[in-house]
């Protein structure tokens, strides 16, 4: 039996089968739903508000949801069986727009793109010059670009009519050596490109006018694959679960990218089919899912992916909706867990050209660590996990409205909430702030244990000690509480943060050891990734996320991966540099080192 279910937003009426699981049904119909645990009932991120559809709460929902949520008709979509017609309200999905930004742009990038416009004026055919139309045009263009040119059949089909309509003159648009479009003579048609960063959580893109080099729109979108798992390993596992899942992941990702392209073009008032090239960066698994490649072996020792080289391919092979003959350039990766996004950060920050030791950390679901010295660039990937993006944290959330983004503990607990509303949860920067403050005030010990009021000896704790409580053996720190809701930091949350922090710090320590440098030798520390931008440097040092560098050496570079993708879009020499970086970077597989475990365990402790 089919039942009508209205989904708000986007206010769509769906015909769903009675008995279907709501989460699966939403995903099947292409409606994004944050559900990083893949429907196992552990992440609590798939909350939806129902009227009709199914009124009964399951035992798991009764245990996991608050009284207020139960009374308000909230459910976990993964636990709901559709029983009757009704309405499903989804929480508003907000994306941190900050993700869609370029960090280093202030820097002039010389304009030498792969997309070019070439004006032509051809001699007319005659009895003494009977060259065919394409031969005539190609001969002219080959002189201009000093090399052979090619085109596709679809362009040849329109060529003869166009040449005659325009009296054998016009503008050819070439991507590399391939002619992809013809414009009338004197045309001022746009030549656009798009730089894309495919993150595990967020997709970001920048639309660029390749005639001027100007970024004309930037935007971000939740990676729709999030519905199939929060991290790369769970996506790889999902792809194995059933035939067709790999294709589903690919389609979902491209659907998200196409939505992003529509929004970019709308905001810049440009046409999608004037985008002739896209440069793409992302971690290796995301690039595999974009290309529809088998990624299973990435997750299994010895961690071998299908492809690390750069790739040029027609956009239509991916169903990416730019010009029908537009091209996609995927930048090269370094290793299975150090992808083209890391290559792009190295390119953007010019780490490959440094003469003095520099450390860069891209903080995200995977924390990539890069250490550049005059001998070259060392890279490592650390399994930081989703804690910095709110994953596996009881009240964790992304940096959107309602998220506590910073804390000041003494003398009173002060915090700021994005959007100035009542707090709903904590985002990554808030989590680091809070844990660092609790450690500084002595409420957390060096091993990360939340101390009960009777165990706290530090005077700095003051009144904050009264916020600590023990519930069912588990200790919690109460951040906010009123009659309707509360936001707490649990002992388990602290453990999750320790794992993330320990992984990144161990990566830093081991790369320094490998390169034979000490923290005193490092001249500059660059924090990349949008989240990196919001970390309080002092607190990151207090916690021991990074070694005790002088604060003036620590700089934020924003979304370096996007900057690298942009450089590769604007300048072919930068694209060649990216190839060199990927070929020459020396990747250190941390899990293969005998000293990894001991270093990691040591780095779990707080402090420096
Ligand atoms: S709790 Fe429902 S998807 Fe995670």
329-343, 404-418, 527-541: range with highest mean pLDDT: 329-343
Q: How many C-beta atoms lie closer than 10 Å to residue 271's C-beta?
A: 12
Say how far apart CA 180 and CA 574 lie, in whole Å: 23
Q: Which fold has domain 115-183?
A: Ubiquitin-like (UB roll) (3.10.20)
Question: In the predicted model, what is the mean pLDDT of residues 367-375?
Answer: 94
Instruction: Please report the atom of ligand 1 found closest to the CA of residue 78.
Output: 2
Q: What is the pLDDT of residues 296-306, one digit of tens each?
A: 999 898 999 99
Pairing, β 12-17 against β 214-222: unpaired
Does 105 score more than 70 pLDDT?
no
44 within ligand 1 shell (Cβ under 6 A): yes
Same fold, 2-89 and 115-183: yes
503 within ligand 1 shell (Cβ under 6 A): no
How far lies 264's CA from each of 242, 385, 486, 543, in Å? 34, 30, 38, 39
Say how far apart CA 562 and CA 565 lie, in whole Å: 5
27 within ligand 1 shell (Cβ under 6 A): no
Are the C-beta atoms of 601 and 506 separated by less than 8 Å? no
Phi-psi region of 319 (alpha: psi -120 to 50; beta: other; left: phi over 0): left
Does 93 score more than 60 pLDDT?
no
Terminal Cα distance for the chain, rounded: 62
Residue 594: pLDDT band with limits 50, 70, 90: very high
Question: In the predicted model, what is the mean pLDDT of residues 556-566?
Answer: 89
Greater confidence (44 vs 170) lies with 170
Ligand 1 pocket test: pick from 32, 33, 39 the residue with the most ligand atoms within 8 Å of its Cβ: 39
Residue 92: pLDDT band with limits 50, 70, 90: low
Say how many Å lie between the CA of residue 456 and the centre of ligand 1: 36
Question: In the predicted model, what is the mean pLDDT of residues 297-323?
Answer: 95
Are the C-beta atoms of 210 and 181 separated by less than 8 Å? no
Residue 280: pLDDT band with limits 50, 70, 90: very high
Q: Helix (H, G, I), strand (E, B), or coil: what is residue 587?
A: strand
Are the C-beta atoms of 385 and 428 separated by less than 8 Å? no
Q: What is the DSSP letter of 278?
A: E
Question: In the predicted model, what is the mean pLDDT of residues 543-550?
Answer: 90
Say how many Å lie between the CA of residue 35 and the centre of ligand 1: 5
Tokens describing residue 222: 């939740």
Say how far apart CA 325 and CA 327 lie, in whole Å: 7
Tokens describing residue 553: 């050496």
43 within ligand 1 shell (Cβ under 6 A): yes
80 within ligand 1 shell (Cβ under 6 A): no
Instruction: Please report the atom of ligand 1 found closest to the CA of residue 35.
Output: 3
- Note the CATH number of domain 2-89: 3.10.20.30
Share the mean pLDDT of the chain.
89
Does 329 score more than 50 pLDDT?
yes
Bond prior to 302 in cis (omega within 30° of 0):
yes
22 within ligand 1 shell (Cβ under 6 A): no
Instruction: Please report the atom of ligand 1 found closest to the CA of residue 64.
Output: 1
Say how many Å lie between the CA of residue 299 and the centre of ligand 1: 23
Say how far apart CA 220 and CA 165 lie, in whole Å: 41
DSSP string, 102-140: -SSTTS----B-SEEEEEEEPPPPBTTB---HHHHHHHH
Residue 531: pLDDT band with limits 50, 70, 90: low
Are the C-beta atoms of 276 and 173 separated by less than 8 Å? yes
Does 232 score more than 70 pLDDT?
yes
What residue ranges do the domains of the chain occupy? Answer: 2-89, 115-183, 192-330, 388-496
CA atoms within 13 A on the CB side of 103: 27
Q: Helix (H, G, I), strand (E, B), or coil: what is residue 15?
A: strand
CA Rg value for the chain:
27
Q: Which residue has the CA at smallest separation from atom 1 of ligand 1?
A: 41
Say how far apart CA 95 and CA 418 lie, in whole Å: 12
Instruction: Please report the atom of ligand 1 found closest to the CA of residue 40.
Output: 4
Q: Tell me what pLDDT residue 100 has.
A: 46
Say how far apart CA 546 and CA 541 lie, in whole Å: 5
Q: Which residues are registered as beta bridge partners of 197?
A: 204, 281
Residue 200: pLDDT band with limits 50, 70, 90: confident
Q: Tell me what pLDDT residue 567 has.
A: 95
Say how many Å lie between the CA of residue 454 and the centre of ligand 1: 37
Question: In the predicted model, what is the mean pLDDT of residues 466-483?
Answer: 89
Q: How many C-beta atoms lie closer than 10 Å to residue 350's C-beta?
A: 14
Q: Tell me what pLDDT residue 419 has.
A: 79
Say how many Å lie between the CA of residue 77 and the centre of ligand 1: 7
Q: Tell me what pLDDT residue 45 has.
A: 77
CATH number (3.60.20.10, 3.40.50.11900, 3.40.50.1240, 3.30.420.480) of 192-330 reads 3.30.420.480
Say how far apart CA 551 and CA 546 lie, in whole Å: 11
What contacts 87, CB < 8 A, 6 or more positions away?
5, 6, 8, 50, 51, 52, 53
Q: What is the pLDDT of residues 24-60, one digit of tens each?
A: 888 766 666 777 677 788 878 788 888 877 678 899 9
Residues in the chain, overall count: 608
């Amino acid at each position: 039996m089919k039942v009508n279910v209205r989904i708000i937003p986007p206010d769509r009426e769906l015909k769903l089968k009675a008995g279907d699981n709501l989460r699966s049904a939403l995903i099947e119909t292409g409606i994004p739903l944050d559900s990083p645990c893949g429907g196992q009932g552990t992440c609590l991120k798939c909350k939806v508000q129902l009227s009709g559809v199914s009124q009964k709460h399951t035992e798991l929902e009764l245990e996991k949801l608050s009284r207020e949520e139960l009374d308000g008709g909230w459910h976990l979509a993964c636990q709901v069986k559709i029983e009757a017609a009704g309405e499903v309200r989804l929480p508003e999905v907000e994306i941190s727009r900050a993700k869609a930004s370029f960090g280093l742009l202030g820097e002039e990038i010389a304009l030498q793109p792969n997309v070019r416009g070439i004006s032509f004026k051809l001699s007319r055919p005659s009895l003494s010059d009977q060259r065919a139309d394409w031969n005539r045009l190609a001969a002219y263009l080959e002189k201009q670009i000093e090399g052979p040119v090619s085109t596709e059949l679809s362009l040849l089909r329109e060529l003869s009519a166009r040449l005659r309509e325009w009296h054998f003159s016009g503008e050819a648009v070439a991507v590399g050596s391939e002619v992809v479009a013809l414009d009338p003579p004197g045309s001022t048609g746009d030549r656009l490109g798009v730089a894309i960063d495919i993150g595990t959580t967020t997709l970001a893109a920048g639309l660029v006018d390749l005639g001027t080099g100007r970024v004309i729109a930037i935007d971000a979108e939740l990676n729709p694959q999030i519905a199939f798992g929060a991290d790369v390993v769970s996506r790889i596992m999902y792809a194995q679960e059933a035939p067709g899942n790999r294709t589903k992941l690919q389609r979902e990702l491209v659907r998200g990218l196409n939505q992003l392209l529509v929004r970019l073009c709308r905001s810049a008032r440009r046409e999608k089919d004037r985008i002739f090239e896209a440069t793409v960066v992302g971690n290796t698994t995301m690039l595999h899912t974009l290309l529809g490649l088998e990624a299973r072996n990435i997750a299994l020792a010895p961690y071998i992916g299908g492809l690390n080289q750069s790739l040029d391919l027609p956009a239509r092979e991916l169903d990416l909706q730019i010009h029908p003959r537009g091209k996609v350039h995927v930048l090269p990766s370094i290793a299975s867990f150090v992808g083209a996004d890391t290559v792009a950060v190295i390119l953007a920050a010019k780490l490959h050209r440094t003469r003095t030791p520099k450390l860069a950390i891209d903080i995200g679901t995977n924390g990539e660590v890069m250490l550049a010295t005059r001998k070259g660039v060392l890279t490592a990937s650390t399994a930081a996990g989703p804690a910095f993006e709110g994953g596996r944290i009881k009240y964790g959330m992304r940096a959107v409205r309602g998220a506590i983004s910073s804390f000041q503990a003494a003398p009173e607990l002060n915090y700021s909430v994005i959007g100035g509303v009542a707090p709903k949860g904590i985002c990554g920067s808030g989590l680091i702030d809070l844990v660092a403050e609790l450690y500084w005030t002595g409420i957390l010990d060096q091993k990360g244990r939340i101390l009960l009021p009777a165990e706290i000896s530090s005077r700095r704790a003051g009144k904050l000690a009264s916020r600590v409580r023990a519930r069912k053996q588990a200790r919690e720190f109460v951040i906010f509480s009123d009659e309707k809701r509360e936001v707490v930091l649990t002992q388990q949350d602290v453990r999750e943060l320790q794992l993330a922090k320990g992984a990144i710090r161990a990566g830093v320590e081991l790369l320094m050891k490998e390169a034979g440098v000490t923290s005193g030798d490092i001249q500059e520390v660059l924090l990349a990734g949008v989240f990196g931008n919001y970390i309080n440097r002092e607190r990151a040092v207090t916690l021991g996320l990074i070694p005790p560098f002088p604060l003036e050496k620590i700089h934020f570079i924003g979304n370096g991966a996007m900057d690298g993708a942009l450089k590769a879009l604007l300048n072919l020499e930068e694209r060649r540099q990216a190839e060199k970086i990927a070929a020459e970077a020396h990747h250190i597989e941390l899990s293969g080192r005998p000293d990894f475990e001991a270093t990691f365990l040591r780095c779990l402790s707080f402090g420096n």
